[in-house]
Amino acid sequence: MIMSKSIAAVYKLKINFLNGVILLIIACPFRAFSQNNKLANNNLIWYTQSKNASESMPCGGGDVGLNVWVENNEVYAYVARSNAFDENNTLLKLGRIKLKISPNPFGPKNFKQELILKDGYVQISGSNGNLTTTINVWVDVFSPEIHFDVRANQKVEVTASFESWRFADRVTKGRENNQNSYKWAPQGVVKTKHDEIKFNNNEISFVHKNAAETVVDVTLAQQKLSQWKDSLTNPLKNVVFGGTLKGTNMVAAGIDEGSYQQTPFKAWKLKSKEPSRTHQLTASLFAQGTEQEQSKHARSWTETKLWWNAYWDRSFVYITANDEEANQVGHNYQLFRYLLGCNAMGVWPTKFNGGLFTYDPVLVDTTYPFTPDFRNWGGGIFTAQNQRLVYWPMLKSGDYDLMKPQFEFYLSLLKTAEHRSQVYWQHAGASFTEQLENFGLPNAAEYGWKRPAGFDPGLEYNAWLEYQWDTVLEFCQMILETERYNGNDIKKYIPLIESCLTFFKEHYTYLAKQRGAKVLDSDGHLVLYPGSAAETYKMAYNSTSTIAALKTVLNSLMASPSITPEKKKGWQEMLAMIPPISYREFGGHVTIAPAKAWARINNTESPQLYPVFPWGMFGLGKPGLDTAINTYQYDADVLKFRSHVGWKQDLIFAARLGLTDEAARLVKLKMKDSGRRYPAFWGPGFDWVPDHNWGGSGMIGLQEMLMQCDGEKILLLPSWPKAWDVHFKLHAPQQTTIECTFKNGKIEELKISPESRRKDVVIW
């Protein structure tokens, strides 16, 4: 057998991982048992069937996500994978799988569906008369395979259907194009192409083939880059993805038609040859350029459960309080982290606007009668200010491996970003925009089709996005932090970080030369104009969010062992060129200003507090804490914009500033049950359901209430209510883990590894 490099790497990862887990279990059997009991209390259990897909339960692994539910005695599962982008850049569902068991195993009073977090799978069980049945639904973490394992105490028949709404081409019109990269500005007729679905030796084969011409070509032409299209990345061209569905002792059983949630579909059916007490159904997925490593069912099941066991042992937060909303916070922290773990090994990052777990849009908004492929804000658009909130919490949860797809995303697009700078402005540095496509260019609709003659082709003609370059610096800082936290080898990412920093020096020097004879101000600083403080303060002069980003990333880069002394000297020179942060007053209280000046307010972010988070320039134990608190408490815009919804960061600001009561109020609002059957399916907020940047910002805020890291110092319980008992395990720099049990207002147990770091822990 010849294995590809990617498969060999996965196989090596499996061996190393399993060896590590076995050693952990041998070394800590009693601790593992205690942890498992607490985790089991966070399992989600339903005792009634679901009304529809909006009441689905997530299940996943590797880079595959399922929405699983039981409706009218039939088991359903939407199938999603992180790489299924069509030529319009819609992130397609692969299809819907349905199981019908005969006789019906679900009586009116004996039904149970449980998400078993420890092992990462969904178990459905029921009884009807003398018949009892259990269905385990799980996804192989190390191979893109979905399993439905049916066991009954009597012989039963199983009919499995693969249901697809893409049995014919579909023209998408109006708001339905929000699912793709054309959004509100389609150029001609936009079609979602049909899949090729057929029976093949008692298996169902489903394949989607992208055309050679894609939205990438349209965008390149729009942005005057067509002549370089052969040298720039196109992840959509001629891509093929899909899979096969088969079952043990199952045969083809014809094709049916139907409609679900206003969407017509066709169903290709398999049926068991004869009744049996056990049935196994497997969906094996593929994508062009990948191979599958076939493994025995039992071994895959064991390896998958061990991976999830290790995932949950790595980090956790368990809250016990008399306040039920506080308990929901802890419960939903685990439930949301489960969603993130389902894309641990994806080639593509987890999408902020639904991840792998979107469902029929009409169940989110009745005015969206579209197919299950729909999500608002695009399929292949990775909006940076949203994506960052999905990935920041992975530092303290120790999920560094989950961060790799997001880092690789930017690294893979570095050439395109540098090419933009060279073509448009003839200078060095990587120009990453805000509404960033998975091929590295601004989204075409956001870039603007109706642009004034002579308008700079490197700019988005967009009131929200113009001159917003700095969000990529948060990912640069995350990369540097993985080195500081976990000792990651980040050498291959250093060119990315350096190029992103170089852009600001080169571009604002370039702009200054267009305006006059001097490129620096009277103090020798860059003139950061025009700029943008988030999407809110536009045409900004010396944006605070940009200044804080540049200062922090430059200092972090110079502290990295991955750069040479010669390069460090050059970055020190650039640091000296970054202007200072500006201030203003409200009622005699000095506050951080969003910029030195700006022309208008366009959105509702609070970038004047970005020096608190993500940049950590102000905070507990640091100079200027009173000024940062004043900004939170007195700045009229900050007060007007305050909210817990979606990507709002007020919880994180309050936690970092030590405002315990305020942080407690906001974390309960942010992380309370979503109102949907799965409590961590928040949204739509400003985006879609489930809103992953809602959950991510909630995770960050909760972590900051429990532990903050400032240089060598680890601040413990800096914003934690005394009335909430908690047991948590989080990660800190220098490969440090902190496990703490806080009960009745006191620390009962504190484990610090390595022990040498105990001297750096400050109980706040």
Q: What angle separates helix 297-314 from helix 5-27, to the nearest 10 degrees? A: 60
Do 298 and 390 reside in the same domain of the chain? no
207-231: per-residue pLDDT in tens?
A: 999 999 999 999 999 999 999 999 9
For residue 12, being part of any structural domain is answered with: yes
* Residue 22: CB atoms within 10 Å: 11
Do 310 and 368 reside in the same domain of the chain? no
Helix (H) or strand (E) holding 306: helix 297-314
Q: What is the pLDDT of residue 648?
A: 98
DSSP assignment of 680-733 equals: T----TTS-SS-HHHHHHHHHHHHHHHEEEETTEEEESTT--TT-EEEEEEEET
Q: What is the pLDDT of residue 14?
A: 59
Specify the 3-state DSSP secondary structure of 550. helix
Number of domains the chain is built from: 2
Q: What is the pLDDT of residue 600?
A: 98
Distance from C-alpha of 68 to C-alpha of 395, rounded to nearest angstrom: 30
Side chain identity, residue 96: R
Q: What tokens were used for 68?
A: 């699983």
Q: What is the pLDDT of residue 299?
A: 85
Which among 283, 314, 345 is the end of a domain?
A: 314
CA geometry: angle 601, 607, 608, nearest 5 deg: 100
Distance from C-alpha of 92 to C-alpha of 491, rounded to nearest angstrom: 35
Contacts of 77 (CB under 8 A, 6+ apart): 59, 66, 67, 68, 69, 96, 97, 98, 137, 146, 148
Do 389 and 473 reside in the same domain of the chain? yes
Distance from C-alpha of 157 to C-alpha of 276, rounded to nearest angstrom: 7
Q: 466 phi and psi, to 5 degrees?
A: -55, 135
Strand partners, 533: 537
For residue 326, being part of any structural domain is answered with: no
Q: Is 14 exposed, middle or buried (0-12, 13-18, 19+ CB in 10 A)?
A: buried
Q: What is the pLDDT of residue 20?
A: 54
Strand partners, 113: 46, 124
What is this structure's pTM? 0.95
Mean pLDDT of 527-543: 98
Do 307 and 371 reside in the same domain of the chain? no
Which among 314, 342, 374 is the end of a domain?
A: 314
473-494: per-residue pLDDT in tens?
A: 999 999 999 999 999 999 999 9
Q: What is the pLDDT of residue 671?
A: 98
Helical residues (DSSP H) of 373-467, grouped into ranges: 384-391, 393-396, 400-412, 414-425, 444-447
Side chain identity, residue 334: Q
Do 378 and 283 reside in the same domain of the chain? no
Task: With cut-offs at 50, 70 and 90, classify the pLDDT of residue 17.
Answer: low
Distance from C-alpha of 114 to C-alpha of 132, rounded to nearest angstrom: 16
Do 233 and 130 reside in the same domain of the chain? yes
Q: What is the pLDDT of residue 297?
A: 84
Do 645 and 578 reside in the same domain of the chain? yes
42-97: per-residue pLDDT in tens?
A: 999 999 999 999 999 999 999 999 999 999 999 999 999 999 999 999 999 999 99
For residue 141, being part of any structural domain is answered with: yes
Q: Count CA atoms closer than 13 A to 100's CA, side-chain side.
A: 9
* Residue 515: CB atoms within 10 Å: 10
For residue 344, being part of any structural domain is answered with: no
Helical residues (DSSP H) of 448-493, grouped into ranges: 472-486
For residue 82, being part of any structural domain is answered with: yes
Strand order across the beta sheet in which 761-763 lies: 707-710, 713-716, 761-763
For residue 353, being part of any structural domain is answered with: no
pLDDT at 378 over 70: yes
pLDDT at 107 over 60: yes
- Tell me the pLDDT of the chain averaged across its residues: 94
- Longest Cα–Cα distance in the chain: 89
pLDDT at 725 over 90: yes
Least confident of 15-29, 100-114, 157-171, 421-435: 15-29
Q: What is the pLDDT of residue 29?
A: 52
Specify the 3-state DSSP secondary structure of 282. strand
Distance from C-alpha of 519 to C-alpha of 539, rounded to nearest angstrom: 18
Least confident of 285-289, 699-703, 716-720, 743-747: 285-289
Do 37 and 150 reside in the same domain of the chain? yes
Task: With cut-offs at 50, 70 and 90, classify the pLDDT of residue 368.
Answer: very high
Side chain identity, residue 511: L
Answer left, alpha or beta for residue 102, where phi above 0 means left and psi between -120 and 50 means alpha. Answer: beta
Distance from C-alpha of 104 to C-alpha of 129, rounded to nearest angstrom: 10
Nearest by Cα to 527 from 516, 545, 541: 541
pLDDT at 25 over 50: no
Distance from C-alpha of 587 to C-alpha of 307, rounded to nearest angstrom: 55
Do 285 and 370 reside in the same domain of the chain? no
262-299: per-residue pLDDT in tens?
A: 999 999 999 999 999 999 999 999 976 433 444 468 88
For residue 81, being part of any structural domain is answered with: yes
Strand partners, 102: 157
Nearest by Cα to 290 from 9, 94, 14: 9
Which among 281, 314, 347 is the end of a domain?
A: 314
Mean pLDDT of 126-137: 97
Do 540 and 596 reside in the same domain of the chain? yes
Side chain identity, residue 188: G
Find the domain containing 287 and state its range: 5-314
Residue with tokens 């059916």: 269
- Residue 146 belongs to a domain with what CATH number? 2.70.98.50
Cα separation values, 475 from 431, 478, 493, Å: 14, 5, 11
- Residue 443 belongs to a domain with what CATH number? 1.50.10
Dihedral sign (CA 542, 548, 553, 555): positive
Q: What is the pLDDT of residue 287?
A: 72
Q: What is the pLDDT of residue 30?
A: 47
For residue 297, being part of any structural domain is answered with: yes
Q: What tokens were used for 532?
A: 């943008």
Q: What tokens were used for 519?
A: 């490129």
Do 10 and 136 reside in the same domain of the chain? yes
Q: 552 phi and psi, to 5 degrees?
A: -70, -45
Distance from C-alpha of 426 to C-alpha of 76, rounded to nearest angstrom: 54
Distance from C-alpha of 560 to C-alpha of 568, rounded to nearest angstrom: 9
Mean pLDDT of 310-339: 97
The alpha carbon of 498 is separated from its chain's Cα centroid by a whole number of angstroms, namely 25
Nearest by Cα to 270 from 199, 196, 164: 199
Contacts of 43 (CB under 8 A, 6+ apart): 114, 115, 116, 117
Helix (H) or strand (E) holding 735: none
Long-range contacts for 38-43 (Cβ within 8 Å, ≥24 apart)?
38/316, 38/318, 38/727, 39/117, 39/118, 39/312, 39/316, 39/334, 40/116, 40/117, 40/118, 41/318, 42/117, 42/318, 42/330, 42/331, 42/334, 42/335, 43/114, 43/115, 43/116, 43/117
DSSP assignment of 167-231 equals: SS-EEE-GGGGGGSSSTT---S-EEEPPPEEEEETTEEEEEEE--SS-HHHHHHHHTT-GGGTTT
Do 304 and 405 reside in the same domain of the chain? no
Contacts of 438 (CB under 8 A, 6+ apart): 85, 89, 235, 348, 380, 381, 382, 409
Residue with tokens 């500006």: 582
Helical residues (DSSP H) of 516-649, grouped into ranges: 544-559, 565-575, 625-634, 636-641
138-191: per-residue pLDDT in tens?
A: 999 999 999 999 999 999 999 999 999 999 999 999 999 999 999 999 999 999
